Structure formats: C-alpha cells, structure tokens
Structure 1
C-alpha cells in the first residue's frame, strides 16, 4: 500500500500526536508498505519511510495572534501555514490512503479535488473527535473514509457516522525496560521524592493546578517536561509556591525514559485526554499514576486508588502521598498491550478493510 502521513509537527516536535503517528508510519514501512511522511521539520537519518519537508511557521510565532474561527488557536495558525504549502507538495494520485489528525487545514488540503481516484482519507482522533461530530462552523466541511478512535467514548459517539476502528496509541516498550535513573544528568536533586508531569503548557493540561497540589507536599520536588504558551505564568507560579522545588525541562523522545526512571510518581491533571500516551509511558516505567478518575482513564491504566477528582487539590495531594508511599515498581503488565507493532497492525487491518470495501463498491 502507498500510505501518506501528514502533520506540521512531524520531525519538528516530539509531542503526543507526532510521536504516535510516526511510530505507526515507522512500523508500516518496516513491514513493507510504501510510506511517505510530510512534516515541517528536517529530515532524520535512518528512518524507514520516505520524508518530504513541508515548510511551516512554528506555532510559537502565533501565541499572541488573534483567535477566531477557524483560526481558533496557535495550533490552527500553524496548521494553516502547513496546509497551504502542502498543496504544492501533495499529489493525491501517488497514494492509496492519506492520514492526519489536524483539522481543518491539513485535512482539507489532503482532500483537495483531483482527477481520477483519490486516496482514502483517514482521520485520527489524537486531538479529539470534535471535527468528526460537531457539524457546526468549519466542522461542517469534515469528511473521512475512516475514523481511528483512540478511546471507547469516541468510537461509541461516531460509529454511526463514519467507519470507525478503536485503536489506542502505543509506546516502544523496550525503551522503558531496565532504564537506570539519571538525576545528576538531568539536573535533578538526589534524596527527595520527585513528582513528574509530562504536559504541554496550555489551559486544558492544568499544569498550574499541578503546581498548587504539589505545593501541599512540603518535601516533594516537581519536574514538568513540556512547553507551551503558558510557560511564563507557570514559571512565575512555581517560583512563588515551589521555590527551589521545581524544574521545567524539554527533552526529546529518546531521552524521556531516563526522566521517567528518575521520578517517584507521575501526575497528569487534564480532565479528559483523547488517549494520553504519557499514561502508558508511566506504566511502562513502573510509576504510580495520579490522574483524573474517569472510565476512559481506567480503560488505559486499570483500577488504582491514586485516581481521584483532580479538581479537588486536597484529593490530588492525598493521592500523591499514597503514590509516593507506594513507590515505583516493575513495568506494569498492562503496558504490553500497547506495543507499536501490534498497534500498527491494527491500523493496517483497518485500512485494508476500507480499501476492499471501496473496491467492492
């Protein structure tokens, strides 16, 4: 099969969506499919897929740009620069299937009119299923031939609208096995309990509330791996509430296992994630997990007494105390369900079924 993955952050960022879709692209290419990746970053050596650079203007340049439909965020502004250039690089006839998780500009560029057969359009709900089900404003333009739902809620909501497949995200399991802590190398203190957050600095991730919760534990040290438009506000709040007990890091994906191995508990404050790769990474690292108690999160991590109502910061602090008292353990067996080879195989099976359905029609 000739498969295209397109996303502005490819090879430019190592955020959740980029890491997830590149992992699928990598596994499909290794399995023999003809895979092309188009993204805004530079080419990387030794990747098994073909890479095409599509120039973008980084979302950081748009953090103070006006927001209005369809330019609802800095992400949408960045996607607009990518989608515009993508039109010059993308030839629909070269592919059997095109995959993205960005709406509206990447999605619409991949659906541009063409003479002859157009590729199947697969949309992945990495950033939510709102485009697939809203039907309002620019979302009325959404169409797809297949919807990859990253959690059961999305599948239940959309299965009557689009052909769907329930496929979670995954991780490179081997990367998290037998990893030694490296606090010194990461500039972290020894001899204190470390709480780790891995999160973008945006409102929905609630990093500031994480700082407020950790501040209730007088001996705990908070590390946040991530970046985003709220970095200045987060740094200022941490200086006030966690003086000498806070560090912000930005690491590449290969370096993240050392950070997980150097922590004692994992905290994530988002009320509802589309999936949340970070939870699986924490499981694979043997970390106790504190997160917002929802059926969706229990579907990923199982039943844990450290899941709580994270809007109650006292409850978060109590859950962190339980997590730190429990301490790290071996790699959680549940994480084995999320290895990338099996996840990519499910993508391929879904795509093959859609192509066969199109052929039969």
Structure 2
C-alpha cells in the first residue's frame, strides 16, 4: 500500500500523537508498505519511511491569539498554518490512503477535491469529538475508516463509521527496566522522584499534582513538558514545596533514561484518548498513580494505583502506597503493546477497506 501520514508535529515534537503515528508508520514501512510522512520537522536518517518537510508556525506563537470556531486554541492555529502548506505539497493521486488525527484543517486539506480519492483514515489520538458531533465545523467531518484508540470511542462511533479498535503501543527496545542516572538530570539522591510527563495545560492538572506531592516531605516532583501554565506551576511549587520541583524539556532520545531515573509515575488527566505515557511508565517498571476509569483499566488491567484523583486525600494515599511498592515493578503483559503488533492491526483494517 502507498500511505501518507500527515501531522504538523512529525519530526518536530515527541508528543503522544506524534509518537504513536510515527511508530505505526515506521513499523508499516519496515514490513513493506510504501509510507510517506509529512510534518514540520526535518528528515532523519535511518527511517524506513520517507519524509517530506511541510512548514508550520509553532503553537506557542499563538498562546495569546484570539480563539473562536474553528480556531479554538493555539493548537488549531498551528494546524491551520500547516494545512495551508500541506495543500501545496500533497498530491492525492500518489496514495492509496491518508492518515491523520488532526482536525479540522489538516483533515480538510487531505480531503480536498481530486479525481483520485485515497481512503481517508482518521485516528482518535486527540479525541473522537469530530466523528460524532454535529456542531459547528464538526459537521464537515467524514472518513472512510475510523481507528478508535479505546472502547468508549469504538462503541460510540461504530453505528456511523467503519471502525477498528486499536490501542497505542510502546517501543520496548527503548522503554524497559534500567538503572537510570539521577546525576545526569540533577535529581536528588535521597528523595523519591515522582515523574509527570504532561503539558502545562488545564486538562493535565499539573497544579493538582504539585498540591498533592507537596504533602509528601520526602518527595521531589519532576514534570517533563511545557505549556501556558508553566509560570503559574513554578510559582505554586515555589510556595508549597520550595526546592522540590523541577521542570525539564528533553529530547525523545532521553525519555527512556528519565523514566528509569524516577520512582513513581503520576498522571492526572481525568480522561485521555489513550495515553502513551502509561505504557512507557509500565514498560519502565514504574508504579503508576492515575485517575480510575474503565478506559484506563482496559489499558493497564490490574497494574497501577488508580484512585479518584479529584479527591486530594485519596490521591496522596495512592502516592504513599506507590512509594512503598517495589522499585522495579512487573512488566508482564506489556508485550501485547509492541508497535509491530499495533501496526499489523492498522494494516489489517486499512487493507479491509
């Protein structure tokens, strides 16, 4: 098959959606499909797929810009600049199917009128709202196949679209049990390192994480990420837990060592489309503290310390319980999420269409 994966952050960021789709693309290309990625980064050596640079302006440039439908956020503004350039780079006649998780602008660009109409595959990495809502710009959504990253999305959308339930995966060659290197990151040696891998935005609840970890006197909180709330988070940490907070921005290459250098993984989103970070933490053997939902239990099974994280007392108790667990937990079952297995499910679904 000749496939195009399009997303502004490809080869530029290592966020969840980018990691997931690039990993699937690499595994499909390695198995023999002809795969092209279009993104705002630069080509990398050693990839099985081909890459084409399509420029965009970073979302950080739009944090203070006006927000209105369909430009509802800084992410939408970034997507619009990428889609404008994608229209010039994308030739529908070159592909059998195109894959994205970006709506609305990239989605619209890939569906532009053409005599050759490749299959339109949409992945719910950032949510399934476009697929089922009939409000505003969401009424324009259409696809030939919808890949749902959790059972809720699959059940909700199956009556309307051709759907497949396919989870995300993890690179087990990179994320695995290891010794770590606290000195490399400047972490204290005599405190429990609690790690959050989150953007500094409201839905990730980093401020709630600071408030909870502040109640554990032997804990040091590390947050890997960036976003509009970075200064507010720093100010709160300086007040509640001075000297016990650090924000880091690392390359994708450094992330496995970061997980290995921590003691506990904390993630406070109330509901994620999937959450690749959970698999990365699990593969690294970290105890996981997160919000208790059926969706997360579908991913983790009995692994992790799940609780009502909106109840601060329950959250603190879960962190204490996690701190008493084995420093290197069991990784049994993680093999099901190897990217090679996930890519086979993508290929099977697209082939069936």
> If the length of structure 2 is used for normalisation, what is the TM-score?
0.98
Q: Give the 5 Å matches for 1:251-266.
A: 251-266=250-265
Q: Which residue of 2 aligns with 1:197?
A: 196
The equivalences for 1:92-241 within 5 A come to 92-115=92-115, 117-241=116-240
Q: Could you say what secondary structure the match of 1:25 adopts?
A: helix
Deviation, 1:345, is 0.5
Structure 2 match to 1:58: 58
CA distance in 2, matches of 1:178, 1:157: 37
Deviation of 1:48 (Å): 1.3
Q: Which residue pairs with 1:39 in the alignment?
A: 39
Distance 1:215 1:327 in 2: 22
Partner Cα distance (1:195, 1:347) in 2? 34
Partner of 1:272: 271
- The Cα RMSD (Å) is 1.0
- In structure 1, what is the equivalent of residue 323 of structure 2? 324
Please say which of residues 135-144 and 325-334 is displaced more in the overlay: 325-334
Counterpart-to-counterpart distance in 1, 2:21 and 2:227: 21
What CA distance in whole angstroms lies between the structure 2 residues aligned with 1:179 and 1:289? 17
Residue matched to 2:87: 87
Alpha-carbon distance in structure 2 between the residues aligned to 1:141 and 1:328: 49
Contact 1:301–1:334, Cα closer than 8 Å, also in 2: no
Q: What residue number does 1:18 align with?
A: 18
Gaps of 5+ in 2: none
* Partner residue in 2 for 1:78: 78
User: Structure 2: how far apart are the matches of 1:173 and 1:57?
Assistant: 33
- Residue 310 of structure 1 corresponds to which residue in structure 2? 309
Q: CA deviation at 1:329?
A: 2.3
Q: Does structure 1 conserve the Cα–Cα contact (< 8 Å) formed by 2:288 and 2:304?
A: no
Counterpart-to-counterpart distance in 1, 2:42 and 2:129: 30
Cα deviation, 1:23-78, whole Å, max 9, x if unaligned, reads 00101111111100000111112211111100100000001111100000000000
- Verify the 8 A CA contact 1:264 1:327 in the aligned structure 2: no
Which residue of the partner structure matches residue 242 of structure 1? 241
Paired with 2:298 and 2:328, the residues of 1 have a C-alpha distance of 20
> Is residue 212–residue 241 contact of structure 1 (8 Å, CA) maintained in 2?
yes
Shift in Å at residue 178 of structure 1?
4.2
Return 5+ residue gaps in structure 1 as ranges: 355-361
TM-score by length of 1: 0.96
8 Å contact from structure 1 (residues 283, 334) kept in 2: no
Give the superposition deviation at 1:303.
Answer: 2.6
